[in-house]
Amino acid sequence: MIEFMDESTDKYLGVRVSGKLTDEDYKNVLVPRLEEAFKNYGKLDFLVHMDGFEGWDAHAAWDDMSFGLKHAGDFDKLAVVGGPKWVEWAVKAFRFMFKGEVRTYQDDQLEKAWEWVAG
């Protein structure tokens, strides 16, 4: 499941992801709101809180990769909070693909991550 966090405003957006993500999560929740924000604000500052994240189904994995590649230059800041250790490794390994700054945070550093994203 993907849900936008209450702290999200204007170009500062955060999502909480949990369980196994599906194509519907991307098409019905994430992509429409982010595309609208890109249109209204240009580049975004984005936080992903992996709260009980269990991975993607095959279609959602493709959605995530293709959307990320399409918008690799459209994020000024990207923070990834929590999640399995492999997620942190993957973010660090592929951060070169993003033009903006990418940081990872431990699950108990959510507030610190929001301060960085919105600061």
Cα–Cα dist 12/82, whole Å: 19
Residue 28 Cα to chain centre, angstroms: 15
pLDDT tops 90 at residue 97: no
Question: What's the pTM?
Answer: 0.92
pLDDT tops 90 at residue 89: no
Give the pLDDT score at 87.
84
Number of C-beta neighbours around residue 4 at 10 A: 14
H helix or E strand, kind and range, residue 118: helix 110-118
Burial class for 109, CB neighbours closer than 10 Å (0-12, 13-18, 19+): middle
Give the pLDDT score at 26.
94
Q: 13-55, pLDDT tens digit by residue?
A: 999 999 999 999 999 999 999 999 999 999 999 999 999 999 8
